[in-house]
Amino acid sequence: MNQGLSREEIAQLVARDIAPGTFVNLGIGQPTTVADYLRADQGITLHTENGMLGMGPQAAPDETDPDLVNAGKVPVTELPGASYFHHADSFAMMRGGHLDVCVLGAFQVSATGGLANWSTGEPDAIPAVGGAMDLAIGAKEVFVMMSLFTKDGTPKLVPECTYPVTGLGCVTRVYTNYGIFHIDDDGERRRPRLVEAYGLSAEEIHNRLDVELV
Residues that bind another protein (CB under 8 A): 21, 23, 43, 45, 47-54, 65-69, 73, 78, 80-88, 90-99, 119, 124-134, 137-138, 164-168
CB of 115 to another protein, least distance (A): 10
β-strands 76-84, 52-58 pairing: antiparallel
Rounded to a whole number of angstroms, the minimum distance from the CB of residue 46 to another protein is 11
Among 149, 152, 151, 169, residue whose Cα is nearest residue 160: 169
Residue among 1 and 128 whose Cβ is closer to another protein: 128
Shortest Cβ 97–another protein spacing (Å)? 6
Residue whose CB is less far from another protein, 83 or 201:
83
78 is catalytic: no
Question: In the complex, what is the shortest distance from the CB of residue 48 to another protein, in angstroms, rounded to a whole number?
Answer: 7
Q: Which residues pair with 15 in a beta bridge?
A: none
Nearer to another protein, 66 or 187 (CB): 66
Q: Toward another protein, which CB reaches closer, 98 or 206?
A: 98
**Which of 190, 198, 211 is CA-nearest to residue 147?**
198
- Of residues 9, 49, 188, 204, which has the active-site annotation? 49
Under a CB-based contact definition with an 8 Å cutoff, are residues 190 and 209 in contact?
no
| CA 116/CA 125 separation, integer angstroms | 15
Dist CA 11 CA 6 (whole Å): 9
The answer to whether residues 109 and 98 touch, using CB atoms and an 8 Å cutoff, is: no
Active centre residues (catalytic):
49
